[in-house]
Structure 1
Amino acid sequence: MPLATRRAPGRPLLRHPAQVIVTAFAAAVVVGTLLLMLPVARPGAHGAPAITALFTATSAVCVTGLATVDTASYWSDFGQAVILSLIQVGGFGIMTLASLLGLLLSRRMGLRTRLTAAAETKSLGLGDVRAVLVGVAKVSLLFECLTAVLLTGRFAFGYDEPWGRAVHLGVFHAVSAFNNAGFALYSDSMTRFVTDPWICLPLAAAVVFGGLGFPVLLELRRLLGRPREWSVHTRLTVGTYAALLVIGFLFITASEWNNPGTLGPLHTPGRLLAGLFQAVMPRTAGFNSLDYGQMNDGTLLGTEVLMFIGGGAAGTAGGIKVTTFILLFFVVYAEVRGEHQVNAADRRIGERVQRQALTVALLAVGLVVSATLLLLGLTGLPIRDVLFETVSAFATVGLSTGITGELPTSGQLVIAALMFVGRLGPVTLVSALALRETQRRYTLPEGRPLIG
């Protein structure tokens, strides 16, 4: 073996955090696939086909919610328990790993930068890994339990479900909602509860809190009544998240108000509730109380934009993240105004952060476009539905116009790969960019190519 390719004794095989994350999630997908292929995972004597088990396991671990089969009828209680466990592992894992990466990156900074970062974030210590693990576990358990109690009570008292069934429904949907997974135990997702606030509002609240991210939730717990003391990250995340939620609600409600296939048949309070629910879910939950296959093309396009942006960093939501989106907005704003520095939330944004945001966004656009072109060639389905499916898969949303089950095996593999890359890509990419810092010892002459 050449010396150049020989691994030094004692050197770990997986040296970079990104390698560890990808390997861990891939292992979870493999284990989940094998469990779902067992005969006990399905009613009857035969297990699920490999492609169905792989697609479902990937969707669950990546907390997406896209499914090629009906979760309620296709899987047994054991199979549903496996899916629920994979959702919990995927959601807890991504929140924990993203938070721990923040700690790792702070350790790799210089002393002055570390002290500045500690003063800015206020949410994570520079070395308390155990606090991160325990904190994520407590936050997840708290919101999941509260949501499960509310849903269980509603299913039991409002829909006369037996207590065992009500608990099963409440726990499953609570875990699915907080982890932004979107798996439902009803064939029509939440459409039968479109006007029920006791079902829709707890689910929407769990999605919002899960999508904000652990660092933001931890900081809000300590400084909820003192917004002036919030870190830049928390201010940008909460402000952008709230603005997109309001814009999404107004846009979707107005666009679908008279659509006979969606909001049209509902009374006014029902329309408002359904519009709010649909505005929350692109954060990346995947529940739907309206049929997306019946929505207007303009509504689908607007929803795709919301899905692509996603939720908060170090949370269970996907997409490029709201911080990436708002930072790029401030970059454009500064350039239009002719300013040399980019400022946001009373702070100057460093050039490295700007480049990282631009890299994540452009690579995400390229990935979605490439996957859309590939699926168009493989399936021949309308671009309206295919683009919505690919954005939903990349952003780990789980919303669909109904074509997921119609995809051929090759198309399902493309969507599964897109879910995996979309879930782990932004996290691993940012960590790789942040940890890979090189110092060039020379500077080239400046060039000015024509732009526009």
Structure 2
Amino acid sequence: MRRSQGILPHFQHPAQVIVAGFGAAALLGTALLVLPISTESGESAGWLTALFTATSAVCVTGLAVVDTASHWSAFGEVVIAGLIQIGGLGIMTLATLLTLLVAGRLGLRARLFAQAETRTSSPTDVRHVVRRVVVFSLTCEAAAAVVLTGRFLLGHDEPFGRAVYLGVFHAVSAFNNAGFALWSDSLMRYVADPWICLTVAAAVIVGGLGFPVVFELLRTWRRPQRWSVLTRITVAVTAVLLVAGTLVFLIAEWHNPKTLGPLDDPGKFLAAFFTAVMPRTAGFNSIDIAGMHPSSRLATDLLMFIGGGSAGTAGGIKVTTFGMLAFVIWSEVRGEREVNIGHRRLPDTAQRQAVSVTLISLALVALSTYLLMALTPHSLDKVLFEVVSAFGTVGLSTGITADTTPAGQVLLVLLMFIGRTGPLTLGSALALKDRTRRYQLPEERVIVG
């Protein structure tokens, strides 16, 4: 069969283009950040530091081996913000937009590539979806930037230019679930400021819901009965996790002098809610992560592993995967042959994909935790926290990132990359072609448990 022509003809599967696109963006960012102009000192940051930071930015993670505010120059910070924007929108979304602007039309191959990144239902609607994704993203970022700029300007006496810079940078970082901040303590100095904390939290939640869910909610928010299964699961699981996370952190950290203890009651509720939102997966923190009780860090591990919505800026296995598994278990416990959600039946393929994503992710986290423990002297809870944060593209840390060995930092780079592109996406990108078995073997029941 003759190879079809089109953009990037050497790639036979859209997933390959996505992985290659994110890899190219990370390498380009590395090349820019390694330049002396990117640092405050005027000296090169080194290839490993540049690679780690660029990968963290383009994979919208937020982990850092150097202090973002003091180490990188204005040029370096702009590069980081640009990488965050690219990673948030998705390489193929930007490529589709560029094709529209230059050629005014899309070939079938380009539509298929963009469809894989934006999770659209049909290749024919990619053009419309990409436009809406870009416009919606920029609108949300602009709205958050306006609120943050006003607060920095009027509430914290920042000069106008500095307030605008801070507002735009943190709006982009928040909406894209990146978690990069321009202060060494992240947002801890604003722990009791509802204008900043709630604005950042709202941007994180909206960006983490996923574009298909957001668009459907905008169309049918008054008619929940018409919501698709994707929207129902995403909204329900997100709400449950936010409420449960807030309660867990309130109960566990209420009297902790290193976290919520010094705050008044409204401040404690605000900080607990903010802390429950960030594992969705944005790496901002308004309380000291290292000072949290081990039980709170374990709860954060679980929230980071689950992550946010599909086809959005969040990482993790996604709330839809977690929700589907919950319904699969519920149906199995009740002895039902089919898995039903609302008035719809969940396909067997979706169930297998959910199980595969979860088990592959668990195996990857377990293996990476073992390797990182062998490479560093840190305790299990801190290493596990770092690994899950990297895989879930969260960016929260107990402070051991910079102390990790070079080999450990390379491992975290790989985790961030895999966490953003997805275990199944990466696996399918490495596969040369799909293999279909043209026969069925006899069925045999196996004892489970």
Q: Does the TM-score normalized on the shorter chain lie above 0.5?
A: yes
Residue 380 of structure 1 deviates from its aligned partner by 2.0
Specify which of 218, 223, 246 is matched with residue 221 of structure 1. Answer: 218
User: Which residue matches 2:143?
Assistant: 146
d(CA) in 1 for partners of 2:305, 2:68? 25
1:132 aligns with 2:165: no
Report matched runs for 1:289-300 at 5 Å: 289-300=286-297
- Give yes or no for the alignment of 1:341 onto 2:343: no
Q: Which amino acid aligns with 1:78?
A: F
User: SS at the partner of 2:402?
Assistant: helix
Contact 1:95–1:214 (8 Å) recurs in 2: no
TM superposition shift of 1:229: 1.1
Do residues 69 (structure 1) and 66 (structure 2) align? yes
Query: Is the counterpart of residue 415 in structure 1 residue 418 in structure 2?
Result: no
Q: Give the Å deviation of 1:186.
A: 0.5
Whole-angstrom CA distance in 2 between matches of 1:95 and 1:315: 13
Instruction: Give, in angstroms, the shift of residue 71 of structure 1.
Output: 0.3
Q: Which of 158, 161, 166 lines up with 2:158 in the alignment? A: 161
CA separation of 1:371/1:222 partners in 2, compared to 1, >3 Å: closer, same or farther?
A: same
Number of equivalenced pairs: 433
- Partner SS, residue 345 of structure 2: strand
Map 1:230-241; keep pairs closer than 5 Å.
230-241=227-238
Which residue of the partner structure matches residue 451 of structure 1? 448
CA contact (8 A) 2:22 2:91 kept: no
Q: 1:92 aligns with which of 89, 92, 97?
A: 89
Shift of 1:45: 2.9
AA at the equivalent of 2:393? T
Q: 1:236 to 1:436 in 2, by over 3 A?
A: farther
Any conservation in 1 of the 2:369–2:384 contact (CA below 8 Å)? Answer: yes
User: Which residue identity is paired with 2:337?
Assistant: H
2:273 corresponds to: 276
| Aligned counterparts of 2:171 and 2:319: Cα–Cα separation in 1 | 24
Q: Among 329, 333, 340, which residue is 1:332 paired with?
A: 329
1:335-376 Cα deviation digits (max 9, x unpaired): 111111111122111111100100000000000001000000
Residue 177 of structure 1 pairs with residue 174 of structure 2: yes
Please state how far the C-alpha of 1:98 moved relative to its aligned partner: 13
Distance 1:309 1:418 in 2: 15
Following superposition, the deviation at residue 232 of structure 1 comes to 1.1
- Residue 408 of structure 1: CA displacement? 1.1
The answer to whether the Cα contact below 8 Å between 1:39 and 1:47 also exists between their aligned partners in 2 is: yes
Q: Is structure 2 residue 353 aligned with structure 1 residue 360?
A: no
TM-score (norm 2): 0.91
The CA deviation string for residues 6-57 of structure 1, in whole angstroms up to 9 with x for no partner, is 9969692111111100111110001000100111101233121110000000
Q: Which residue of 2 aligns with 1:394?
A: 391
Is the 1:98–1:314 Cα contact (8 Å) retained in structure 2? no
1:374–1:399 Cα change, 3 Å: same
1:27 correspondence with 2:18:
no
Deviating above 2 A after TM superposition, structure 1's stretches of 4 or more consecutive aligned residues are 6-12, 94-101, 103-108, 123-126, 429-443
Unaligned runs of at least 5 residues, structure 1:
1-5, 109-120
CA distance in 2, matches of 1:217, 1:301: 30
1:373-410 CA-partner distances (Å, limit 9, x unpaired)? 00000112101100000000000000001101111111
Percentage identity across paired residues of the two chains: 58
Q: Output the CA distance in 1 between the equivalents of 2:350 and 2:113.
A: 13
| Structure 1 partner of 2:187 | 190
Counterparts of 2:431 and 2:237, CA distance in 1: 24
User: Structure 1 residue 96: deviation in Å?
Assistant: 3.5
SS at match of 1:152: helix
Contact between 2:145 and 2:164, CA under 8 Å: does it hold in 1?
Answer: yes
CA distance in structure 1 between the partners assigned to 2:245 and 2:368 by the alignment: 25
Q: Give the match for residue 264 of structure 2.
A: 267
Task: Name the counterpart of 1:111.
Answer: none
Root mean square deviation of aligned Cα: 2.6
Q: Indicate the residue corresponding to 2:79 in structure 1.
A: 82
Worse overlay, 70-79 or 345-354: 345-354
Is the CA contact 1:14–1:20 (under 8 Å) kept in the aligned structure 2? yes
Return the offset for 1:97. Answer: 8.4
Distance in 2 (alpha carbons) for counterparts of 1:410 and 1:107: 36
